[in-house]
């Protein structure tokens, strides 16, 4: 089944999933009223494992940290695993040059994926990303993560495509997102979607 990447339709304000044929369905949203170190979506297999094949997070976020450098990156952990079971690749462009990097044996998907600006980069500047968790509940393969996103803080445009791997075949029970430095700032928004099994 083809996987629609980056579907931008937003679910209505009502509770529960919105069914739209072969499209991602909105499941839940977290909007931060205070700055926090991390956010998690929990009980995933219990709540969604029998219905959905793939999960997706659509986020708009920023860091609350003031300091050197323009950008902070978002990191991903699954099922609370803090061991060195993650790997990632990222391809990044800024309009003038392209760069890439890779990392393995990491304690999270820990590359410059899902970049977002610090508050001293300017008022109301956020980064955005779409994060796909493919075959989230399949128990015969490692979990693959795909990220498309970008940010436009003052003086440093970024767009990126990344992939991550969690070297574990367990069904996803939780996803945790956290900044590599500082906290996730007020008004950052994270929405979880699901694509139904065939």
Q: How far is CA 72 from CA 31, 107, 131, 185, in A?
A: 19, 17, 17, 12
Q: What are phi and psi of 46, to 5 degrees?
A: -65, -45
What are the chain's domains? 25-196 (2.60.120)
- What does pTM read for this prediction? 0.85
Q: Check whether 93 has a pLDDT greater than 80.
A: yes
| Cα 158 to the center of its chain, rounded Å | 16
The residues near 107 (Cβ < 8 Å, ≥ 6 apart) are 77, 82, 83, 84, 86
Name which of 128-132, 156-160, 165-169, 193-197 the model is least confident about: 156-160
CB-CB contact of 116 with 151 (8 Å): yes
Cα end-to-end span (Å), the chain: 7
Q: Which strand (E) or helix (H) includes residue 47?
A: helix 44-48
């Amino acid at each position: 089944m083809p996987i629609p990447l980056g579907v931008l339709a937003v679910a209505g304000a009502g509770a529960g999933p919105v069914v739209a044929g072969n499209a991602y369905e909105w499941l839940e949203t977290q909007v931060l009223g205070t700055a926090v170190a991390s956010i998690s979506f929990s009980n995933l297999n219990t709540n969604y494992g029998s219905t959905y094949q793939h999960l997706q997070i659509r986020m708009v976020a920023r860091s609350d940290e003031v300091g050197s450098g323009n950008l902070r990156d978002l990191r991903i952990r699954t099922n609370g695993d803090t061991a060195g079971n993650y790997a990632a690749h990222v391809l990044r462009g800024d309009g003038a040059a392209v760069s890439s990097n890779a990392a393995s044996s990491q304690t999270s998907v820990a590359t410059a994926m899902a970049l977002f600006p610090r508050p001293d980069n300017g008022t109301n500047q956020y980064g955005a990303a779409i994060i796909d968790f493919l075959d989230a509940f399949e128990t015969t393969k490692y979990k693959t993560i795909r990220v498309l996103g970008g940010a436009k803080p003052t003086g440093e445009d970024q767009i990126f495509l990344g992939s991550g791997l969690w070297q574990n075949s367990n069904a996803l029970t939780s996803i945790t997102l956290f900044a590599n430095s500082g906290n996730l700032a007020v008004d950052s928004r994270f929405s979880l979607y699901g694509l139904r099994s065939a």
